[in-house]
């Protein structure tokens, strides 16, 4: 009977050795699996970081677009209102003293309406570009309607203002329309 226990003991040792050999043979496969998992984790981490960056870029882009929509969304309406301003200004400028005596309250109402229109423009970031005769021509803010050699002026001086210009925040709605001297003297 002692021999049987001894045989069983030897069988157990043989089994343990066989298991150990099998485990050692599987070790490279486990190592490969660990490396594969590490590579997969790195790839997923990279995708995650890229997704975070994309989300942050989308947030910044949306904020910029929202700000631009707030600042410049009404530019088409504002541009369409400029001829109304021009016509009211011409009407006020063409009034004679005799007409002012006869229709004073009407003319005063037009002037008040024009001032209110300017206040609304300013409230929404629209400002007038009002060049004066003798100022230098600035192609960023002025549009040259004509050139004329006017004695007593320098080349590039504004010699006539046809229409005021307008800016919406930092963008030109309409450049001021001016005549420019081409006198070289």
Residues 150/159, Cβ–Cβ less than 8 Å: yes
Helix 75-93, helix 104-123: angle, nearest 10? 150
Q: Residues 31-73: pLDDT tens digits?
A: 788 889 989 999 999 999 999 999 999 999 999 999 988 888 8
Assess whether pLDDT exceeds 60 at residue 30.
yes
The chain-wide mean pLDDT, for the chain, equals 88
Within 10 Å of residue 142's Cβ, how many Cβ atoms? 21
pLDDT at 70: 87
pLDDT at 25: 65
Assess whether pLDDT exceeds 70 at residue 76.
yes
Residues 150/185, Cβ–Cβ less than 8 Å: no
User: How many whole angstroms separate alpha carbon 162 and alpha carbon 36?
Assistant: 75
Percent of the chain with pLDDT over 70: 89
pTM greater than 0.75 (yes/no): no
Assess whether pLDDT exceeds 70 at residue 28.
no
User: How many whole angstroms separate alpha carbon 47 and alpha carbon 29?
Assistant: 27
Lookup: tokens for 30: 């486990």
Residues 171/160, Cβ–Cβ less than 8 Å: no
Q: Residues 124-143: pLDDT tens digits?
A: 999 999 999 999 999 999 99
Assess whether pLDDT exceeds 60 at residue 4.
no
User: How many whole angstroms separate alpha carbon 157 and alpha carbon 169?
Assistant: 26
Residues 141/129, Cβ–Cβ less than 8 Å: yes
Listed residue (163, 135, 166, 93) closest to 178, CA to CA: 163
């Amino acid at each position: 009977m002692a021999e049987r226990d001894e045989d069983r003991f030897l069988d157990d040792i043989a089994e343990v050795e066989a298991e150990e050999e099998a485990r050692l043979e599987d070790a490279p496969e486990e190592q490969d699996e660990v490396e594969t998992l590490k590579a997969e984790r790195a790839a997923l981490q990279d995708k995650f970081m890229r997704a975070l960056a994309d989300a942050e870029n989308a947030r910044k882009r949306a904020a910029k677009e929202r700000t631009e929509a707030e600042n410049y969304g009404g530019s088409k309406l504002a541009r369409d209102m400029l001829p109304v301003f021009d016509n009211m200004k011409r009407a006020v400028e063409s009034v004679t003293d005799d007409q002012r005596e006869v229709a004073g309250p009407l003319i005063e109402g037009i002037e008040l309406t024009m001032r209110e229109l300017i206040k609304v423009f300013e409230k929404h970031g629209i400002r007038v570009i009002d060049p004066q005769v003798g100022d230098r021509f600035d192609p960023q803010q002025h549009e040259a309607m004509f050139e004329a050699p006017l004695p007593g002026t320098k080349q590039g001086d504004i010699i006539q203002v046809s229409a005021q210009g307008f800016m919406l925040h930092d963008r030109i709605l309409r450049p001021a329309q001016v005549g420019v001297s081409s006198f070289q003297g």
